[in-house]
Homo-oligomer: A and B are copies of this chain.
Amino acid sequence: MGQFAIGVDVGGTNTVSGIVDAKGNIHEKLHFDTKDYPIFETYIDRLARDIDSLIRHTTGAELAGIGIGAPNANYLSGLLEDPINIEWYTCNADGSRGNRMHIIPFVETVRRHYPAIPVVIDNDANAAAIGEMIYGGARGMKDFIEITLGTGLGGGIVANGEMVYGHGGTAAELGHIIVKSGGRQCNCGRRGCLETYVSATGMVRTMLEILATDNRPSSLRSLRINEITSKMIADAAEAGDELACMAFEETGRILGEALANFAAFSFPEAIFLFGGPIKSGNLLWEPTKRHMETNMLRSCKGKVKLLPSGIDNDNAAILGASALVWKELHKRGNVCK
């Protein structure tokens, strides 16, 4: 296998680790329940057990580094800053749970276990962008944008062949671009953020608005409001529900307009869309592409490709995390591919 990387996906539910070679083949995967280890130090001890076990599987091969994808991770500082859906606590002298941690020194703590091995961290969307660059559709591209669609909307920007981290390390917060002044309340405390419209949850809100505004029949009217999912809207649209189709049209309009604005900002060669909502066939894709082209500035028109992610969705998190390692080696001039 030659060189390999360990990719770690830190999620609110599961922590998954895997061995990945430079071509993006996954050779072994392990996982455990994140919530079983609320004390941060014991969580890292548990993670190190998996990493040790993976390393034992790779006798004779060289470990290039450990790449970690985690919510709200800051590449520059190595910290997790108020991670969403994860609660970690300090450890008291007697081993009991101490105070809630808001700033988590993830890289520093992992490095204590592996002082001689490069350890890199980044947030999920940036890891997806680097995965796209190393293994996916962005190979050879110097300028592109990755959009990850799920419960929220994440972004990763590459310009001049480099990730755009910005001065504070957390640039490309594309889900929090305000697309409607004074619009929908966002979890970030502000109003009108893109992800309040374009995401699995945003789409449900749009569906409710349409059901309120329009009085045509819809199969969704018989559902409990807090049980409606974007998948149900997709199923209804597939079955010909006119109002569900309107929700996709409206979501695509807002996303398409936002993508045209992103193009005016950094003029990428391609914008990649990644995540569940993209898999609903043409329902979201078609209106997104149409509205992106309609709103594109003349100088960019026809020059920015809209592409589905080239990364295997099921293993994307591990692949993205491992790609951080290859990118870092490349940056340090120690090219491994």
Contact = CB atoms under 8 A, between A and B. Distances in A.
Contacts of A170: 267, 299-300
A40 B264 CA distance: 29
A116 interface: no
A62 interface: no
Interface stretch (A158-166, A213-221, A307-315, A322-330): A158-166
Nearest to A163: B160
A176 interface: yes
A166 B268 contact: yes
A160 B157 contact: no
Given A159-B164, A160-B164, A188 B298 contact: yes
Interface string A92-126: 00000000000000000000000000000000000
Given A143-B167, A164-B159, A304-B167, A265 B189 contact: no
Interface string A122-161: 0000000000000000000011000000000000010110
A330 to B, nearest CB: 14
A23 interface: no
Nearest to A155: B265
A90 to B, nearest CB: 23
A1 interface: no
A296 B295 CA distance: 25
A172 B81 contact: no
A254 to B, nearest CB: 8
Contact of A264 (B81, B176, B299): B176
Chain A at the B interface: mostly helix, strand, loop or mixed? loop
Contacts of A266: 157, 164, 166, 171-172, 265-266
Nearest to A265: B265
Contact of A265 (B157, B298, B304): B157
A73 to B, nearest CB: 12
Contacts of A26: none
Given A164-B159, A304-B167, A178 B265 contact: no
Closest 6 CB pairs of A and B: A166-B267, A171-B267, A167-B269, A173-B264, A143-B167, A160-B162
30 contacts: A81-B299, A142-B167, A143-B167, A157-B266, A159-B159, A159-B162, A159-B164, A159-B166, A159-B171, A160-B160, A160-B162, A160-B164, A162-B162, A164-B267, A165-B267, A166-B267, A166-B268, A168-B267, A168-B300, A170-B299, A171-B264, A171-B267, A173-B264, A174-B264, A174-B265, A177-B264, A189-B298, A190-B295, A265-B265, A266-B266
Given A168-B267, A173-B299, A262-B265, 7 more contacts: A157-B266, A159-B160, A160-B164, A162-B162, A164-B266, A168-B299, A173-B297
